[in-house]
Amino acid sequence: MTRIIADISISLDGFVTGPDPGPENGLGTGGGALHTWAFSDDPDECRILREGTARSGAVVLGRRLFDQVDGVNGWNDEIGYGAGEAGRPAFVVVTSSPPESVRLTGLDWTFVTTGPADAVAAARERAEAASAAGGRDLDVVLMGGGATIGSALDAGLVDTLTLHLAPVVLGGGTPLFTGGMPRTLVQRGVVRTPNATHLTYDVP
């Protein structure tokens, strides 16, 4: 069965970027420390990253994050979601207006202008099609940014929340949680690695 998984790195004080993020500094000041684990040679961290990519039948991201990864200093053949893997998932972007052009034309992009719920529905269709073609269950992964995941959580669209908790206090930036209804999650897993603690929760 296809699950909707929100998966993001976060600081101890709840930020998914450092202060002052922008087009030339997508993760903000100090925000690169959030993703140290993803670029590590540690076997457990490599495994967690590989398993996350392998389960992805489709990936949802917001427009600001798309502009960063599709920008001149963004993803390439060596750096990016699924880089170096045999296959890459479809990508669905939540946006008010599609871009005029796309640099990363080798990836499968869909732009949804009618909100997160429709973006998740489109991604589910792509993931279920990939599951049927591959003969194994694949999931929809919400990779960010923080506003996209926060909106999906508030709308009740997320089945599982995976947080990669980095041992850093950023003091500001983009928060993942900005209010909304209180909720109690169900803890399903904790994995400690040298550069992060990886937390998995079911979202009732």
Neighbouring-strand partners of residue 164 = 9, 198
Report yes or no on 78 lying in a domain.
yes
Domain count, the chain: 1
Contacts of 162 (CB under 8 A, 6+ apart): 5, 6, 7, 8, 52, 198, 199, 200, 201
Report yes or no on 150 lying in a domain.
yes
CA 192 vs. chain centroid, Å, equals: 20
Residue 94 belongs to domain spanning: 4-12+30-177+185-202
Q: How far apart are CA 163 and CA 142, in angstroms?
A: 12
| pLDDT number for residue 82 | 64
| pLDDT number for residue 117 | 97
**pLDDT, tens digit, 9 for 90 and up, residues 148-184:** 999 999 999 999 999 999 999 999 999 999 887 788 9
**pLDDT, tens digit, 9 for 90 and up, residues 61-107:** 999 999 999 998 889 877 888 666 556 899 999 999 999 999 999 89
Report yes or no on 24 lying in a domain.
no
Report yes or no on 51 lying in a domain.
yes
| pLDDT number for residue 83 | 65
Among all chains, which residue has been given the structure tokens 């073609």? 133
Q: What is the mean pLDDT of residues 23-35?
A: 90
Neighbouring-strand partners of residue 199 = 163, 190
The enclosing domain of 159 has a CATH number of 3.40.430.10
pTM here is 0.93
Tokens matching residue 74: 């963004």
Report yes or no on 173 lying in a domain.
yes
First vs last C-alpha separation in the chain: 17
Higher pLDDT, 35 or 178: 35
**pLDDT, tens digit, 9 for 90 and up, residues 113-155:** 999 999 999 999 999 999 999 999 999 999 989 999 999 999 9
Statement: residue 191 has pLDDT above 60:
yes
Q: What is the mean pLDDT of residues 25-33?
A: 92
**pLDDT, tens digit, 9 for 90 and up, residues 86-98:** 568 999 999 999 9
Q: Give the whole-number percent of the chain exceeding pLDDT 70.
A: 97
For 182, counting Cβ atoms within 10 Å of its Cβ (0-12 exposed, 13-18 middle, 19+ buried), the class is exposed
Report yes or no on 159 lying in a domain.
yes
Alpha helices of the chain — where are they, by DSSP H? 43-54, 63-69, 116-134, 146-154
Other CB atoms within 10 A of residue 79 CB: 12
Higher pLDDT, 61 or 21: 61
Report yes or no on 165 lying in a domain.
yes
Report yes or no on 20 lying in a domain.
no
* Nearest residue to 59 (alpha-carbon basis) of 92, 35, 99: 92
